[in-house]
Amino acid sequence: MNLLLTLFSAALLTLALPNELFVWGSPFLGLVALIPVFLALYRSSSRNKAALLGVVFGAASTAGANYWLAFFGEFSIWTLGGAMAGYAGYNYLLFTFLFDAIHRGSPRPRSIPGERALAGEGLLPGESWHRPLHLALLWTGYEFLKSVGFLGYPWGLIAYPLSLWTGLAQSAELVGPWGLSFLAAWINAIGAELLLQYRSEGVLVALAKRLRARPFLTRPLDHHVVAAGALVLVLGGFGHYRLATLGPDDHHRSVHILLVQQNIDSWQPGLFSEALLQAQDLTLEALQEHQQTSPEAVDFVLWSETALRRPYRQDDSFYEEVPDQLPFREFLRRLDIPLLTGAPAAAGEGQEPEDYHNSAILISPEGTLLASYGKQQLVPFAESIPFWHVPAVQRFFRTVVGLYGTWVPGGSSAPVKIPAGDTILLAGLPICFEDAFGWVPREMVLEGAEILINLTNNSWSRQDSAQTQHYLAARLRTIELRRPLVRGTNSGLTAVINRRGEMAQAMPMFESNAAVFSVPIPPGEWTLYQAIGDLLGKAAVACAALVLFLREKSGKPERQ
């Protein structure tokens, strides 16, 4: 039974996140997705059995929500398999802590209580009043920890389904995604407690009896229900207030960006020249059409991550000859406006000659390299491998995995200065999944970025859900920092997200397309998240650890 509950919870979480059945996911499922697995933990008779349930949940939920990792070419066994193995391990540890949060302080590990326990005072006998809060803190702390550092992967957060409610999503301005993670986990923990207590008669019948038997709000769980409901109202009320006070963006200065979605992955063998030519053709056709139909001048062109597969150098003759039909340097001269594109860039001083950044580079019509930004948060074991310069490590990854090189992380968050008419646009340029990490865009805004421009290539995933999962994560950055975000992608979701987290303009996914988007640049606003960053996520880790420590000191040890 516990195994079935765990698998059911993994399936609910998969459906709560963007998937092929529900394109954007379901916030309602996000409010109940963890209830079955919490019930399984209540029923578990030992810490070891709970940890094994964590292995199942971690592997199953990762496979369900991230199945598109299987399309990562010849590396799929390592991308999906590695992620499943990693999160099986993470959840093995997490579920031991969750088990202790549920059972610590009881005389022995316990399955779901019998009828006498159902008539208790609002929480199960022997347990503290703060257990639902402790479960929520543990889950929030876990989601924070899995989203930072070298192994950081902020996918599948329980915050994302709730962020679909625009009013609630605005709370990210205060505390990032961690407030939503906490709220969702808390509601799930309360739901599990309710089901445990009312399973014999049904929730409504048992609740009616309790209300008649004695005044409401005399039992600990009643306080949790009211407090969680109040938090929803407060966060939702704040969100709607902020939406009303932000005002329209159409009276601010705007930049006009020609976005190109070529829908051909230049990293596929033999497709580089074809992909480059298609990007050039789409650009020139869209630019000509815009010039014929609109008086507004285009400020610059945006291509996706690694649209240039070969490093761009001003003194390199390669781009004077490729593609054959229209060499890239000739294309730049015809374009007559700057091009912002993804390309490898030499790591430079202090690095080895073969070291390169995964970069965004700005090129003038004359072919001059105006500026660049090197990606800082690299994909672990794909873009960055520990001890890569050790020959034995290189041999393993080249012969067994089929990976022949890595990137060097960039070291600066300084915005890139992009000419935009008579002004200079200060743009933060998160690359690939960097817009899913709060700290990367936050550092860019603290350095002065007026706008965020993401260059990414998710075309290998082949699935809409991969694109929308990435989009939902990136969307929170616009609310946290109150800056617009332009997503320039190879296959989707190419879009402009305004500072309210609303999709202002977008292109259909997995279609070759190019269009000019007008992006208002409102004055920068101070937000609490800018000031404190991910402090709430760190606080959740500290508070959960403190409660576990105090309960360990006061509670009776559990049998294994």
pLDDT tens for each residue of 520-552: 999 889 999 999 999 999 999 999 888 888 777
Mean pLDDT check: name the lowest of 77-86, 142-151, 206-215, 253-262: 206-215
The pLDDT value recorded for residue 213 is 55
Q: Which two tokens stand for residue 162?
A: 């709730």
Confidence of residue 208 (pLDDT cuts 50, 70, 90): low
Q: Looking at residues 21-36, what average pLDDT do you find? A: 96
Q: How far apart are CA 92 and CA 95, in angstroms?
A: 6
Task: Identify which of 450, 375, 443 has the alpha carbon closest to the alpha carbon of residue 409.
Answer: 375
The pLDDT value recorded for residue 5 is 96
The pLDDT value recorded for residue 554 is 65
Q: How far apart are CA 54 and CA 37, in angstroms?
A: 9
Mean pLDDT check: name the lowest of 117-131, 248-262, 424-438: 117-131
Bridge-based pairing state of the strands 339-346 and 300-302:
parallel
432 is catalytic: yes
Q: Going by C-beta distance under 8 Å and a sequence separation of 6 or more, which residues neighbour residue 243?
A: 166, 167, 170, 500
**Which stretches of 146-177 are DSSP H helices?**
159-162, 166-169, 172-175
Whether residue 451 is predicted with pLDDT greater than 70 in this model: the reply is: yes
The pLDDT value recorded for residue 397 is 82
Distances (CA, A) of 62 to 83, 100, 154, 409, 545: 7, 24, 12, 26, 25
Task: Identify which of 341, 261, 278 has the alpha carbon closest to the alpha carbon of residue 511.
Answer: 261
pLDDT tens for each residue of 81-102: 888 999 999 999 999 999 988 8
Ramachandran class of 65: left when φ > 0, alpha when ψ lies in -120 to 50, beta otherwise: alpha
Confidence of residue 489 (pLDDT cuts 50, 70, 90): very high
Confidence of residue 558 (pLDDT cuts 50, 70, 90): very low
Task: Identify which of 27, 488, 543 has the alpha carbon closest to the alpha carbon of residue 279.
Answer: 488
Q: Looking at residues 285-289, what average pLDDT do you find? A: 96
Q: Going by C-beta distance under 8 Å and a sequence separation of 6 or more, which residues neighbour residue 510?
A: 263, 459, 462, 464, 491, 492
Task: Answer whether 238's CB lies under 8 Å from 171's CB.
Answer: yes
Q: Looking at residues 329-357, what average pLDDT do you find? A: 87
Active-site residue, from 375, 434, 443, 450: 375
Mean pLDDT, the chain, as a whole number? 88
Active-site residue, from 143, 305, 434, 443: 305
CA atoms within 13 A on the CB side of 287: 23
305 is catalytic: yes
Percent of the chain with pLDDT over 70: 88
Confidence of residue 485 (pLDDT cuts 50, 70, 90): very high
Q: Which 3 state secondary structure label does DSSP give 369?
A: strand
Whether residue 320 is predicted with pLDDT greater than 90 in this model: the reply is: yes
The pLDDT value recorded for residue 157 is 96
Mean pLDDT check: name the lowest of 117-131, 368-382, 425-439: 117-131
Q: How many CB atoms lie within 10 A of CB 215?
A: 9
Percent of the chain with pLDDT over 90: 68
Q: Which two tokens stand for residue 527?
A: 């937000």
The pLDDT value recorded for residue 352 is 66
Mean pLDDT check: name the lowest of 186-190, 203-207, 434-438: 203-207
Task: Sort 128 into a burial class: Cβ within 10 Å, 0-12 / 13-18 / 19+.
Answer: middle
Q: Which two tokens stand for residue 135?
A: 């479960």
pLDDT tens for each residue of 52-74: 999 999 999 999 999 998 887 66
Task: Identify which of 258, 308, 254, 304 has the alpha carbon closest to the alpha carbon of residue 284.
Answer: 258
What is the chain's percent helix, strand, coil content, to nearest 5? 50, 15, 40
Whether residue 349 is predicted with pLDDT greater than 80 in this model: the reply is: no
Q: Looking at per-residue confidence, does 268 or 309 come out higher?
A: 309
pLDDT tens for each residue of 220-279: 777 888 999 999 999 999 999 999 999 777 767 899 999 999 998 777 777 889 999 999
524 DSSP assignment: P
Confidence of residue 214 (pLDDT cuts 50, 70, 90): low
pTM score: 0.91
The pLDDT value recorded for residue 162 is 96
Active-site residue, from 127, 432, 443, 450: 432
